[in-house]
Every structure is written in structure tokens, then in C-alpha cells.
Amino acid sequence: MASSRRDLMKGLFGLPLYASAADAMASDAGTASALPDKKSFAFTGTFLNAAYAHPLSIQGYQGAESFLATRMHEPAVPGPRSNPRNAAVEAFAGLVNADPSEIAVVPSTMGGENLICAALGLGRDAGVVTDGFHYDASLAMYGEMKLRGVPVGVVTPRNNRIDLHDLDALIQKNTRLVAVSLVASPNGHEHDLKAVCDIAHAKGALVYADVVQAAGAIPIDVKQSGVDFACCGTYKWLMGEFGVAFLYVRPDRLDQLHQVQIGWRSIKDEVRHVLPFDPPGPAIGDWKLGTDTASRFEVGTPDWLALGAAVSTIAYIRGIGVDTIQRYRQPMIDRLQTEMPKLGFMPITPNSRGPIVAYAYKGASAKFGPSLKKAQITVTLYDHVMRISPSVYNDMEDIERLLAVLRA
């Protein structure tokens, strides 16, 4: 890990702000060392909590600082054609096998899901099916919809899994959307996204996938899965910052979506008629609306700083390879799955490729919180659940350190 601010700042301006995703990836490929990569991260202690918020790497820090430095010297840099937005979208699209035109930048994963629900016009005749492992705020959103008369079905987990037969049984003629988390935040359950899409599409429903606990951690191919909509913030396994997310919309679904918001990215060929030398016309002006995903869902100025970080962090991830990251992490997950039950922890994570493993233990937070804090080991602790999520900077020594504290 970086030992000083001087180390952290070294090579600060090595990545051009407006480099394409391909250029950024080539730049970072040489810095993506063999795993574990501890030198790219500056935190102290043993951090096994990337599912909560991934530590910002030196690469992300450099990408953000590069934008800030340019902003100081070029005040107009946040303009529509002069910012990190396109490079970040290109980088994410390459990560999930999408075309950049199919991606919009939105403020958050939850914001993207809200937009899709509004654009689909969910109502009394257009309902939702989801499951109990979907994101808790999403479940609350659908619960509020149900109070307003929207048909909502929720699959109850069985044996810490979502049975696709149960999902299939809940999809009715009036189901418009099936909404799932590809990797579940509470316990790491991973859906077979293609199977979910096949089931939903056979009954005329569309599929939204929250991929915030998956993108960057496991391989995703939106084309192969057939998913209709997917969204992902950058601050978890994309290793970036808060404030931006990428919303994917399958292009042949755009004509099924209402335009629910208008902003400057929506408008094409605008002509005003109120200033001197303007052509004559109505005071409201003339314009056309764009038809791509960004035109539908990007209305305002996104967080350029977070996008600047995302260009570099996604390039770093692609330089290593998501499949390499997954294979490197798996032995740590397997070790936990072998040893934690011996210490009285009840496994609640089914076997999966994902980055999250969780355990039930009555009084977990009260019993283990103080000793973990003293040892500078960070995991997610709830009253009766411990969630562990290692990343590229962790190694088996970190896992053994955690197990030693729990044994004590």
C-alpha cells in the first residue's frame, strides 16, 4: 500500500483526462500487478468489506485529481463536449459487452431503477415481481407501489436461495417487470440472469437487474443474458466514487419506455426565437428529442469528478481481467466457507462466483465487534449477521487474521 501522500501523488497526471477507455486501459495495464495488489491502495488495517464501499485506489485518485487539476486551469472543462463522461461510458460498456449508445449516466443504482419503473408506467395493470433478496430500498419502493394498487409479487427465499420455479409461478399476465439483484447484497446469492430473463420473456415481462454487487466482481455479458435493463453505481466493485451510476437499456426496448424527464442531453437541434438575429418562430422555441438511452435518462450535469475516477478504475479492472479477479478471490471465499461453520457461524450464502459470503450468528455484532475493531479488521456486522467481501488487495493472510480473531 502507498506509504505516503508523495507515493499517492506520484504520476498524478500520467493519465490524460479525455483518453478513450482503450487508451486508459492500455495505460493501466502496465500497473495492474499480480494479485494481491496492495500497493494500489492506501488504507490501513485489514479491509474485508468492499461490498459496503470499495476502497478508492491510486488509479481512481489519479483520475479524479486529473479532472480537478484540469478544471482549475480550464474553467470550461465541464462543458457538454469536454468531460470524462464518454470515456467512462465507453469503459463500462466494454466491461459488460454493451454498446456505449446503450448506456446512460444516472446519479445512483436506485435512481436508475426508479427511472425504469417510471418509464414503464407501472400501475394497476402493469405489475412487478421481485424477490426477498433484492435491495432493501427497492423492496420498500415496490411495497409503496403495492399500497397504491400496483400488483407486486415477492418470492420468499428458501434455503438461502431464490428458486426460479417460485419466481416463474408469481409472474402473471399483468406482470410488466421482474426486478432482481444479480448478486444479492444481504447474502451474496447469485441469480442465473439468463434463466431469469428466459422465464420472464416467455411470459411477456421485462427484466431489470441491479448489478452493483456484480459488475467488476464477476463477468457480466448483457447481450448473452438478454437482460432488458441493468444499473450499477461505481463505488462498490467498480472501485470508484459515489455520485454516478451506469444505466443499461437494451436498444430494442427503448420504444416501450415513456420519456419521463427532459434535460439538456435529451434535446437535439434546438432553435431559439427570442434573441436578436434569431429566426422567427414561437417563443417556446423548436427542438427535437434524441432517441438513444442517454437522451431518455440523462437530464442534468453528472458528477464529472466521479466519472474521472471511473475511467481509471474500470480500466484498472479490465487490465487485470474480471475473470482473473474472480478466480483469485475464490480460494479466500472457499476457506471462509470451510472454517467459519467450525466457529459456530451458520452459512447463509449459497455456492456462487460472487464476492460476498455471509453468516448468521446470534449477537454477532455485540460479541465480535469490539475485538475486530481492536484488530483493525473491517467486515459488515449486523446484529446477527456477519458479511465478508474480499477484493484484489486481500490475500489468505487477511482471511487467517480474521479467523484468528474470531477463534479468540
Q: For the segment 89-117, what is each residue's pLDDT rounded down to a tens digit?
A: 999 999 999 999 999 999 999 999 999 99
Write down how long the chain is: 408
Kindly state the DSSP code that residue 289 receives in the 8-state scheme: E
pLDDT in tens, 145-182: 999 999 999 999 999 999 999 999 999 999 999 999 99
* Mean pLDDT (whole number) for 228-257: 97
* Mean pLDDT (whole number) for 392-399: 98
Instruction: Tell me what pLDDT residue 265 has.
Output: 86
Check: CB of residue 302 under 8 Å from CB of residue 292.
Answer: no
Q: Which domains occur in the chain, in start order?
A: 85-316 (3.40.640.10), 322-407 (3.90.1150.10)
Question: Which range is least confidently modeled, 23-37, 276-290, 307-321?
Answer: 23-37
How far is residue 400's CA from residue 390's CA, in Å, rounded to a whole number? 12
Cross-strand partners of 128: 152, 177
- Give the distance from CA 94 to its chain's centroid: 14
Q: Is residue 11 over pLDDT 90?
A: no
How far is residue 14's CA from residue 8's CA, in Å, rounded to a whole number? 13
pTM value is 0.91
Residue 202, classified by CB atoms within 10 Å of its CB into exposed (0-12), middle (13-18) or buried (19+), is exposed
pLDDT in tens, 327-381: 999 999 999 999 999 999 999 999 888 999 999 999 999 999 999 999 999 999 9
Q: Is residue 40 over pLDDT 50?
A: yes
Instruction: Tell me what pLDDT residue 79 has.
Output: 61
Q: Is residue 136 over pLDDT 80?
A: yes
Q: Is residue 10 over pLDDT 80?
A: no
Residue 408, classified by CB atoms within 10 Å of its CB into exposed (0-12), middle (13-18) or buried (19+), is exposed
- How many Cα atoms within 13 Å fall on the side-chain side of residue 159? 5
How far is residue 267's CA from residue 237's CA, in Å, rounded to a whole number? 33
Give me the percent of the chain exceeding a pLDDT of 90: 84
